[in-house]
Structure 1
């Protein structure tokens, strides 16, 4: 794989515009090359002679490659200098925090020098951009580390107080356990950078300096391929940037490095660990965020969100702070990857420049890059060591391997058996479908007397599985295209790293359910009753109910089988939807609620299950469900419930975020609720007045919903966009796909016209037509899913949001610092 593609694949998706623009600089180099080819055509050398020279060059030692000094030629003469590099203070301040780097190209007077001059100007811009972004992010994590210091001090004191409530005063505490120590994360990091670099310079560490990268890979003379890929993989593995980097050797080496306590290694330059005083608990209260029904009710009643410490809350606080440390460590890993990849990109682009121009400017420029904050800063590396030491000691019971495995979760591997199982089950599904069609055709089942009875009873039972399988297939396709276009959907949904389902797993589950469903249909396809008892076989009539029970049992199964973490994540989001507006609304919650709004017919099928097997005579395939007032009432309710969940979520966000757009979104769902009620009333009463109401409310809801889909959910139809009537940034290069999706969304949004105008197709039963319309809505939702998450991803990219914000458990008063000083 070429370096440009590898560089793009290793980027943090939300930071892609903050990385060095390698492709643009490569384009400038191509212009320089084209100019040189026009003015100075290359001298052709016979292939045989060239091969012979190359062979002898490797073994004779007669051809010696002189390494030029940073100033130019072999001797470093001033006349051979290509560029002069310097660092200048920016206008933002006089401190070293605001430094701009600039290179002066000394050969601009030569023919074609303006191309190279432009290249160095753009290169300087990229260096300053990357350097500033990296410094800002490092400052953010250092401030967050200072907060984590206070949180850890409070946690340790809270632990001791909870386990030994009789301890009072600082003297008793110090005599209790001198081993309880906290390695301060942020203190002394910036102050000790110079001293640390003087003793162990950055470029002498594991990366060997980024000039060392060029010297190590350059002799292979491979333009864009394996050499740099090996360096990337080796660095990322050795430094824990990739997910799957927890090998035994790495653990042993890191354990040796951190076992001696990072804080104690540098007592002079870095503030060491110290006992935590119990007096800190006098300035600490527990944060009570509005994330649970209880806390929400307290917020409505205006009860104080902060409460006194209670030993019963210790486990909850530990879990919350543990999660905070894990997220913080992921930030550090991303920053480390960002620094290394950009430095490697600078070395690569300068190597290409030297090769194209036959100059020696790389060494001088990369020396400046190494001296920049991006190349010389060591805060992130040392902060990672401190976080590892703290986490291992306080959250994994000093078990190094366990702690590292939690901090660096292994990357989920694709398994061949999953792909094989998908193919096997898909083939089984196809075979069962073909068999079903052949049996229907051979027995002329559609024209038999019992066909209508079958469609009224059994078809609604089995159509439920069809709706679920279709939705899973659409979601699997969404995941595939999200991954293809690098939409970071696990981060957007807030899924724990390494536990998210891939498209293969979703296809596996859908194909397995499809096989079971088709096998069940074939099991009780016979339309004929027993001529004596006028009865169907009870066992076969219970097959669909048994399949529903099996699916529900697997979904709620507490054992660690069949993707338990994903099932529990789904159940947790479903609980939040059902309990709306008592839970804080996250994107995963309202995204699931939107999926449920497209499964109205599935909810009605579940209602029919209850009625058919509870009050109907399933042995005779007869039911009088529609004659019960309770069934009719719930026929309205189950269709409205998903939209009601979404309406309450919008109200919660409107009140909490003070965003009027959420209020308008709530009105949109309320209009949909009215339209569904009117359409349902018309389908049951068939009156002209109900039809008029149904048409008016449905038209208003469809128009408003379509506009909201295209403009707000998808971010399209922007007049002043660079891409006419779309948006400025697009992940798909073919604009026609966006226009096709918009047209399709409009058409499918008006599929309700079939219900109101009562279209009839001669070869389709009424229940079959209802299933087709419901399937069209599921397909529309699948299309909506991709563009909705694409828009969310681009918003994250625009704001460089690559981290989840985890609420801290403790609320520390500012008076704490003053007491410490005293």
Structure 2
């Protein structure tokens, strides 16, 4: 769209990436925010489709009302309609900019999306994969609250220390919320398992803190700390994914390195999913390596990595619900009738 409207030029004085892109930054932030959000929701629709196909009782686990439950077709329709609206807003914005309308008026258009699209809730585990979306939301809020859209000072929110620090704080919130949930369950139930799970989110926060410090002061010491903390957190998370959340890697299982009961017929899918989850968990290496792709803006690379994490969460969701379903079935929590503690006898006996 920028090419078509003549706003993108590769000359040294290019007005697109450093001027027009910031002009569209709040649109891009909305686009990134809603793209990640609806990608997540789309993957939830894929999860519903697969859960139904594998006969996993997700409605019972989520305690969904049968008459109000969204079907996978409903989810896909919502995603399609919503992303069409987002792209439409972006197109209108670009069109008005090229026709010379006042920036102060044009910049207010993306803000209208916030009045239309809202979320009822998002589970804390899902939010842990939506940190980039939350940071973009923080930038958008700063952009409009401070009135930067009127002065076209696109870098103010990036330069202002208190807003930059707030962006870092936002990054920690999902892990903090999830850790507090684990702490609450530990206090209520007294099971050490919840305390160990809390440690997983604490390790994630420590790794994120090391990355923040490394971004501010790129020294070899902080780099080593990032590698150590991130590696430890990744191993912790992988163990919890495979063993606790997915119930795999059981040593005495009749299915090697899996579990006795499997909802999917093809075992190689489980092995492939574990390998893919491992690869996607290592996305933090981008922070250390800083690999770039020729002619690809770093913001696009950031969006790509954020999308990979959302995809990983969609993969995690399926196996987490499969394991929960099997545990419920094994403990007779997924059926209406429970076997009695004695044998039934007929009238003759």
Q: TM-score, normalised by structure 1?
A: 0.38
> CA separation in 2, counterparts of 1:444 and 1:761?
22
Name the residue aligned to 2:253. 721
2:134 pairs with 598, 603, 616, which one? 603
Secondary structure of residue in 1 paired with 2:177? helix
Asked if 1:688 is matched to 2:220, the reply is yes
C-alpha distance in 2, partners of 1:740/1:442? 44
Give the distance between the partners of 1:479 and 1:446, measured in 2 at CA: 44
CA distance in 2, matches of 1:615, 1:499: 40
Q: Pick from 581, 584, 594: which aligns with 2:125?
A: 594
List runs of 5+ in structure 2 lacking aligned partners: 337-349
Q: Is residue 781 of structure 1 aligned with residue 318 of structure 2?
A: no
Aligned positions of 1:405-420 closer than 5 A:
none
Quick check: 1:547 aligned with 2:79? no
Measure how far apart 1:702 and its partner are: 1.0
Bigger relative CO (Cα 8 Å, ≥ 6 apart) = 2
1:299-345: CA deviations, max 9, x gaps? xxxxxxxxxxxxxxxxxxxxxxxxxxxxxxxxxxxxxxxxxxxxxxx
Deviation at 1:515, TM superposition (A): 0.3
Q: Does 2:71 align with 1:502?
A: yes
Equivalent residue for 2:144? 613
What is the CA–CA distance in structure 1 between the aligned matches of 2:131 and 2:102, rounded to whole Å? Answer: 30
Q: Is the 8 A contact 1:479 1:503 kept in 2?
A: yes
Greater radius of gyration (CA): 1
**Superposition map of 1:607-756 within 5 A:** 607-619=138-150, 620=152, 622-756=154-288
Deviations along 1:746-795, whole A, 9 cap, x unmatched? Answer: 00001011122211112221211111111100000000000000000011
**Aligned counterpart, 1:490:** 59
| 2:19 aligned with 1:453 | yes
Alignment of 1:56-135 (within 5 A): none
What's the offset of the Cα at 1:685?
3.4
Q: Which moved more, 1:495-504 or 1:717-726?
A: 495-504
Q: Distance in 2 between matches of 1:548 and 1:764?
A: 29
Q: Structure 1: which 5+ runs fail to align?
A: 1-435, 556-566, 575-591, 805-822
**Which residue pairs with 2:339 in the alignment?**
none
Counterpart Cα distance in 1 of 2:146 and 2:99:
22
Structure-2 change in CA distance of 1:637 and 1:803 (3 Å): farther
Asked whether 1:471 is paired with 2:34, we answer no
Whether the 8 Å CA contact 2:325–2:334 is kept in 1: the answer is: no
Length, aligned pairs only: 329
Residue 368 of structure 1 corresponds to none
Determine helix, strand or coil for the equivalent of 1:682: helix
Partner of residue 440, structure 1: 3
Instruction: Name the SS of the counterpart of 2:94 in structure 1.
Output: coil
CA contact (8 A) 2:57 2:334 kept: no
Checking the alignment, whether the CA contact within 8 Å between 1:595 and 1:781 is kept in structure 2 is yes
SS at match of 1:717: coil
Q: CA contact under 8 A between 2:96 and 2:106: conserved in structure 1?
A: no
1:794 maps to which of 326, 346, 349: 326
Verify the 8 A CA contact 2:168 2:212 in the aligned structure 1. yes
The CA distance in 2 between the partners of 1:446 and 1:732, in whole Å, is: 51
The verdict on how the C-alpha distance between 1:520 and 1:442 changes in structure 2, with shifts beyond 3 A counting, is closer
> Given the alignment, which residue of 504, 514, 527 partners 2:83?
514
Offset from partner CA, 1:433-455 (integer Å, 9 cap, x none): xxx4xx63674726342223344
Q: Shift in Å at residue 527 of structure 1? A: 9.9
Question: How far did 1:513 drift?
Answer: 0.8
Residue 618 of structure 1, CA deviation? 1.5
Tell me if the contact between 2:5 and 2:98 (Cα under 8 Å) persists in the aligned partners.
no
By how many angstroms is 1:512 displaced? Answer: 1.0
